[in-house]
Homo-oligomer: A and B are copies of this chain.
Amino acid sequence: MVTHTEENYLKAIYKISEKDKKPAGTNAIAKEMDTSAASVTDMLKRLSEKGFIKYQKYKGVNLSSKGSKIATNLIRKHRLWESFLVDKLDFTWDAVHDIAEQMEHIKSEVLVQKLDEYLGFPKFDPHGDPIPNADGKFTLRVQILLSLLRKNDKAVIIGVKEHDDDFLRFLNSKNLQLGSKVIIIEKNDYDKSMTVTVEGVQVMLSEKITKQIYVKKHE
C-alpha cells in the first residue's frame, strides 16, 4: 500500500531526477513538496523501507523500479485526466492542473484503461506533454523552442515548457494554443523578441515567452 502523500513524494522525486539527471537531494524535494527538509528525511526513510527508493544518507535518492512505476502511473493518470477535462468537459488548459492533481490519486486500473480508451488513446496532454502508456513508455518527438526559429520560418505550437496558469492565460489572450500556426515576421537581434503572425493577427513576443513554447517546423 502506498499513501496519498507517499505518491506525491515519489512523483516529486521522479520529476526532479528527470530534470537534473541525477539523484534528487533532500532540499530539492522539500522545495517541490513545499515542506521542510526534516520532513523529507523522515519520508525518505519510510519510502526506503517500503522499497520505493534507493536511499543512502547524505547521498540523495533514486527511485527503485517499483517507485518509478508508481510515479509514471501517476503522471499517466494526471495527463489523461487533464485531457478529459479539456476535451470532454471544455476546461481551458490553464484550469486543469489542480483538479488533475486530485484525480491522479483515484485507484482503479480498469478506470484508467477505460478512460484512455474513451479519450482515444491520446499520446499528448493539453499542454503537449507526452502521456506514458500502461507500461510507462513515453512517446518521443522532435520539438524545438519557438525562440530558435528565424525570420520567415513557419511552425505549429505543440507544447509549452512553463505550466504556470498566468503564463497559459497570457497565451490564451494572444490566441496562442496547441495547434496554432505561427509565422515569424521579424526577429529583433538585440532583445531576441519576435513579431509573429498567429491566426492572421500579428503579435510581439519577448524571448522570455518564446523560450517557453515548443513548436514543430512547418513546410
Chain A residues packing against B (C-beta within 8 Å): 85, 88-91, 95, 98-99, 102-103, 105-108, 110-111, 114-115, 118
Contact = CB atoms under 8 A, between A and B. Distances in A.
20 contacts: A85-B111, A88-B88, A88-B118, A89-B111, A89-B114, A89-B115, A89-B118, A90-B114, A91-B114, A95-B110, A98-B108, A99-B106, A99-B108, A99-B111, A102-B105, A102-B106, A102-B107, A102-B108, A103-B103, A103-B106
Contacts of A102: 105-108
Nearest to A102: B106
Contacts of A99: 106, 108, 111
Nearest to A88: B118
Contacts of A98: 108
A106 B105 CA distance: 10
The 9 lowest CB-CB distance pairs between A and B, nearest first, are A89-B114, A102-B106, A99-B108, A99-B111, A89-B118, A103-B106, A88-B118, A89-B115, A90-B114
A23 B194 CA distance: 68
Contacts of A95: 110
A98 B110 CA distance: 12
Contacts of A115: 89
A98 B102 CA distance: 17
Most chain B C-beta atoms within 10 Å of own C-beta, residue among A89, A105, A107, A110: A89
A98 B85 CA distance: 22
Contacts of A85: 111
Given A89-B118, A90-B114, A99-B106, 15 more contacts: A85-B111, A88-B88, A88-B118, A89-B111, A89-B114, A91-B114, A95-B110, A98-B108, A99-B108, A99-B111, A102-B105, A102-B106, A102-B107, A102-B108, A103-B103
A173 B118 CA distance: 26
A90 B116 CA distance: 13
Nearest to A111: B99
A14 B188 CA distance: 65
Nearest to A81: B106
Contacts of A106: 99, 102-103
